[in-house]
């Protein structure tokens, strides 16, 4: 089976940097995704990690450590529009992707 | 824009009625997924297709739920004898799986919000 843990809520200030952590346990691993989901909307793809290390994409970076069952999403230069839920999702041994409950990020002025 | 589309966007029904939702994936995508999402939770996997074959189905999915993808293009999700607990957002996603492997990113449609009264 698979288990994903991430904080339910976080608050950060506009212009700052925030790190959203995700820990997981799985019997098989084929990659970890991060999605952004604004309230009432569908999730949108942010990043995918299958190897250890940091993947950078503009203001967003994602890190993976497979040995530690750990990932984080780093958001830099926060903007008000970054207020959303951030979903950590795990691809296990097959094609099924399991989502965490999401971290609701509130960006304040 | 030729992203994933879903129809209808909203559905209100009475308990005990049957409902059917449609998903049109991105045209070249060969995989199609259905998820259910309730407030404050992440999407919960229901089932997925590779072309027209249904390859995996969640054990949480009762016999009242059935999905098809008859020609490997659009898909339908039917819920029979709806219950109030079926009220949720039903999300469809599609992806392109290449034979050589690599990233298989799922792109989501806008969802169908179901309310069972």
CA distance A86 to A8: 10
Residue B32 bridge partners (DSSP): B49, B94
Residue A15 phi, psi dihedral angles, 5° rounding: 90, -15
Dihedral (C-alpha) A23, A49, A98, B65: value to the nearest 10 degrees?
Answer: 170
pLDDT at B89: 96
In the three-class reduction of DSSP (H, G, I as helix; E, B as strand; rest coil), residue A80 is classed as helix
pLDDT tens-digit map of B9-24:
999 999 999 999 999 9
pLDDT at B101: 62
CA distance B75 to B31: 11
pLDDT at B102: 61
pLDDT at A95: 72
Show residues of chain B in contact with A48, CB under 8 Å.
103, 105
pLDDT tens-digit map of B34-52:
999 999 899 999 999 999 9
In the three-class reduction of DSSP (H, G, I as helix; E, B as strand; rest coil), residue A104 is classed as strand
Can you point out the beta strands (E) in B1-117?
5-7, 10-13, 19-24, 31-37, 44-50, 53-57, 65-68, 75-79, 88-95, 107-108, 112-116
Show residues of chain B in contact with A3, CB under 8 Å.
none
* DSSP code, position A16: S
CA distance A32 to A47: 8
pLDDT at A104: 97
pLDDT at B56: 83
Q: Does B2 touch chain A (CB under 8 A)?
A: no
pLDDT at B10: 96
Q: Which of B3, B31, B43 to mutate to test the interface with A (most CBs of A within 10 A)?
A: B43
Q: Does A101 touch chain B (CB under 8 A)?
A: yes
Per residue of chain A (109 residues), what is the pLDDT tens digit?
A: 778 999 999 999 999 999 999 999 988 888 999 999 999 899 999 999 999 999 998 999 999 999 999 999 999 999 999 999 999 999 876 678 899 999 999 999 9
Which of B40, B97, B108 minimises the CB distance to A43?
B108
Q: Which of B42, B48, B92, B109 to mutate to test the interface with A (most CBs of A within 10 A)?
A: B42
pLDDT tens-digit map of B76-111:
999 999 999 999 999 999 998 877 666 678 999 999
CB spacing of B40 vs A50 below 8 angstroms: no
């Amino acid at each position: 089976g698979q288990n994903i843990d991430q904080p339910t809520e976080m608050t950060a200030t506009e212009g700052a940097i925030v790190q959203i952590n995700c820990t997981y346990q799985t019997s098989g691993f084929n990659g970890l995704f991060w999605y952004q989901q604004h309230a009432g909307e569908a999730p949108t793809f942010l990043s995918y990690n299958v190897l250890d290390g940091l993947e950078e994409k503009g203001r967003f970076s994602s890190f993976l450590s497979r040995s530690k069952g750990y990932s984080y999403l780093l958001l830099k230069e926060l903007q008000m529009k970054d207020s959303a839920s951030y979903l950590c999702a795990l691809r296990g041994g097959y094609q099924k992707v399991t989502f965490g409950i999401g971290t609701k990020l509130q960006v304040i002025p | 824009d030729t992203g994933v589309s879903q129809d209808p966007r909203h559905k209100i029904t009475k308990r005990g009625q049957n409902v059917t939702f449609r998903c049109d994936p991105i045209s070249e995508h060969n995989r199609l997924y259905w998820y259910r999402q309730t407030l404050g939770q992440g999407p919960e996997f229901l089932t997925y297709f590779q072309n027209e074959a249904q390859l995996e189905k969640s054990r949480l999915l009762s016999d009242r739920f059935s999905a098809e993808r008859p020609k490997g293009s659009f898909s339908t999700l039917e819920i029979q004898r709806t219950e109030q607990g079926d009220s949720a957002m039903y999300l469809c996603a599609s992806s392109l799986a290449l034979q050589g492997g690599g990233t298989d990113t799922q792109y989501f449609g806008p969802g169908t919000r179901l309310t069972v009264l």
